[in-house]
Structure 1
Amino acid sequence: MPSFAAMDGTQLAYRIVGEGEPLICIPGGPMRASSYLGDLGGLLETRRLVLPDLRGTGRSAVPDDPATYRCDRQVADIEALREHLGAERVDVLAHSAGGDLALLYAARFPQRVRSLVLITARARALGIDFTGEQRLEAALLRQGEPWFRAGLDAFEALLAGTASDADWEAAAPFFYGRWDDAARKHAASEVEQTNEEAAELYTSSGAFAEPAAVRAAVADTPVLILAGELDGGPLPRVAADIAGLFAKAELVVQPRAGHYPWLDGPGRFAGTVTGFLRNRA
């Protein structure tokens, strides 16, 4: 994998797949290696996907200072990647907890961001987040599934903060629109792909200290906000609240999709993102 040096000297790795204009794709987790994004449902057919492993994940080096795992302190890593690519301006896609990092990057470097694509993304940087009750609301949409009863008990333990490893496994189907072999394989890789220490520090005190300033800085950034119909993080109506903070927002709710919509409907997902980016070219 190619790599580049962050401002503090940490060597950060990234993958490139596809051809065309670069699209920087920030992974979530938080702090999960970018390999879980795959090719984003075939999005590589129309864009050159640049998939960084955030510091301390995947093939990127562990930093000397663990405090640099904090979300806002990784903004400089995304800027170093843009400079390394030699791109004057970039489109940025982010998934889940990566949404906060993308928003903070766009707020600090608005002149470098052509557009944002936020996929089932958190927006704590804007002062909006989802709740456990909202996650449970989405979970109850799955009552027709054969795994629902056992999964719900585990999901409630997860929300209460008392989940065992077995509970996490049993609750995994709630995050996918289809609990098929591809989803099972994807879910099984999460633990080994995630830096748990870094994940704990990602949202440490001060990470999202100025939501009003971030909202003002990104308000005019063109943004696609894609939510999953079956996802609780965020619910579609919470995604609509996020969209309402932007002057140029497009909100799309992908039918029958969970937290990983490129797995649940790859063609629909790639078509939605490609259409948005082409309109912004």
Structure 2
Amino acid sequence: MPSYEGSDGSPLHYDDVRGGGSGGEKEPIVLLAGGAARHPSYLGDLAGLSERHRLIVPHLRGVGRTAMPHSEERGSFWTQADDIERLRIHLGLQRMVLVAHSAGTRLALAYAAQFTRSVSRLVLITPPAAYLVDEASDTGTISERRHGDSDFEAALTALVAGPQTNDDDGYNAWQQESAPAGYARWGAKERAHAQVGRWSLAATKAYFSVDPPSDLAPRLRQIAAPVLVLAGAEDCLTGLAPVTALARLFPSGIAVVIENSGHYPWVEQPASFREAIDAFLKP
């Protein structure tokens, strides 16, 4: 597995995913997993995106092959932006395309705010947005549409209660218990996907150990690079209204809503997902 040196000298690992098409010869995309602190294997190759693009997928601090940092703050999403900058330099890129999912969008935005000129394009897939916009959450309205779905209602109860554990096994068990809340439907495809990618509890805590600066939203308004925000119309984790509102923060931001999809549109609606992201990334 390839690696590079982080800002503190630690070895940081990443996957280099190349499909069977011409994607391996093109400028790479840096793909950031969410979770937070979930093994990036759950991303797959984003519904075949590696056929057109080389995907560089970091194992973030405390996840997969990359060890936990010596200090918790070093593993925060705000501080790990320094690691992503080191990765850009390691790859020999003047500017780079960042694609991020869920909690990974916090790191992507932290990077874009601190290294604005190093971003050529930014794709935010079902990002949490409540900490950046004033739009009221509509997760309650979306959840009401699933009334009577016993799998969903049990998952939502677990999600609201939160993990009652201090170890990785218990934390991952809670993630599985609450998993149906992340999808628009709970079929065989969704059940299989929910099993992929283990979470690290220690890395999750570290990820949120440093608050972003209070002026983060105004700083994001200065990003000139094109930004695509992808929202799931049935996303009960982030809602829909706050996610689409996030796109309006950016001078060149656009929002695309994937119908009949929850938090994982490349799994639930791969054709619609690829149509949106391919159009945005087209040279």
Does residue 64 of the first structure (1) align with residue 70 of the second (2)?
Answer: yes
Q: Cα gap change, 1:205/1:107 in structure 2, threshold over 3 Å: closer, same or farther?
A: closer
CA distance in 1: counterparts of 2:34 and 2:6, whole angstroms: 19
Query: Which residue of the partner structure matches residue 106 of structure 1?
Result: 112
2: CA distance between counterparts of 1:198 and 1:128?
29
5 Å-filtered alignment, 1:118-129, equals 118-123=124-129, 126=132
Q: Which structure has the highest helix share of the two? A: 1
Stretch moving more, 13-22 or 117-126: 117-126
Distance 1:56 1:169, change over 3 A: closer
Could you tell me whether the CA contact under 8 Å between 2:13 and 2:59 is conserved in 1?
Answer: yes
> Which residue in 1 is equivalent to 2:150?
149
- 2: distance between equivalents of 1:108 and 1:173? 35
Distance 1:119 1:83 in 2: 25
Cα distance change of structure 1 residues 66 and 256 upon mapping to structure 2, 3 Å threshold: same
Contact 1:100 1:123 in 2 (8 A): no
Q: Deviations over 1:212-263 (max 9, x none)?
A: 4433332x33100000111033222111210111121121101111101100
In 2 relative to 1, CA 211–127 (structure 1 residues): closer, same or farther, beyond 3 Å? farther
1:210 corresponds, among 215, 219, 226, to: 215
Give 1:242's aligned residue. 246
Residues 129, 119 of structure 1: alpha-carbon distance in 2 compared, 3 angstrom cutoff: farther
- Structure 1 window deviating more from structure 2 (86-95 vs 209-218): it is 209-218
Among 19, 31, 45, the residue aligned to 1:25: 31
In structure 2, which of residues 264, 267, 272 is the aligned counterpart of residue 260 of structure 1? Answer: 264
SS of 1:252's partner is strand
Aligned residues: 271
Q: CA RMSD in A?
A: 2.3
Counterparts in 2 of 1:140 and 1:34: CA distance versus 1, 3 Å: same
Q: 2:142 aligns with which of 138, 141, 147?
A: 138
Query: 2:178 corresponds to which residue?
Result: 171
Residue 15 of structure 1 pairs with residue 15 of structure 2: yes
Judged with a 3 Å threshold, the aligned counterparts in structure 2 of structure 1 residues 38 and 168 are, in CA distance, closer, same or farther, namely closer
Corresponding position of 1:189: 196
Q: Matched residues in 1 for 2:121 and 2:71: separation? A: 31
Could you tell me the TM-score, scaled by structure 2's length? 0.87
Q: 1: distance between equivalents of 2:105 and 2:135?
A: 11
In structure 2, what is the Cα distance between the partners aligned to 1:29 and 1:129? 23
Deviations 1:134-186 (A, max 9, x none): 43332222236xxx235314413422436686765443222123423332122
CA distance in 2 between partners of 1:111 and 1:17 (Å): 25
Counterpart check, 1:231 vs 2:232: no
Determine if contact 1:152/1:171 at 8 Å carries over to the other structure. Answer: no
Larger deviation, residues 18-27 vs 72-81: 18-27
Distance 1:72 1:124 in 2: 17
Deviation, structure 1 residue 267: 2.2
Aligned to 1:276: 280
2:209 aligns to what SS in structure 1? coil
Q: 1:94 and 1:265 mapped to 2: Cα distance?
A: 17
Task: Find the aligned partners of 1:154 and 1:24 in 2 and give their Cα distance.
Answer: 32
In structure 2, what is the Cα distance between the partners aligned to 1:175 and 1:75? Answer: 27
Q: Residue type of the partner of 1:16?
A: D
The verdict on how the C-alpha distance between 1:88 and 1:250 changes in structure 2, with shifts beyond 3 A counting, is: same
The percentage of aligned residue pairs carrying the same residue is 38
Please say if residues 41 and 196 of structure 2, whose CA atoms lie closer than 8 Å, have aligned partners that are also in contact: no
Taking the aligned partners of 2:85 and 2:41, their CA distance within structure 1 comes to 21
Larger deviation: 83-92 or 150-159?
150-159
Structure-1 residue corresponding to 2:81:
75
3-state DSSP class of the match of 1:73? coil
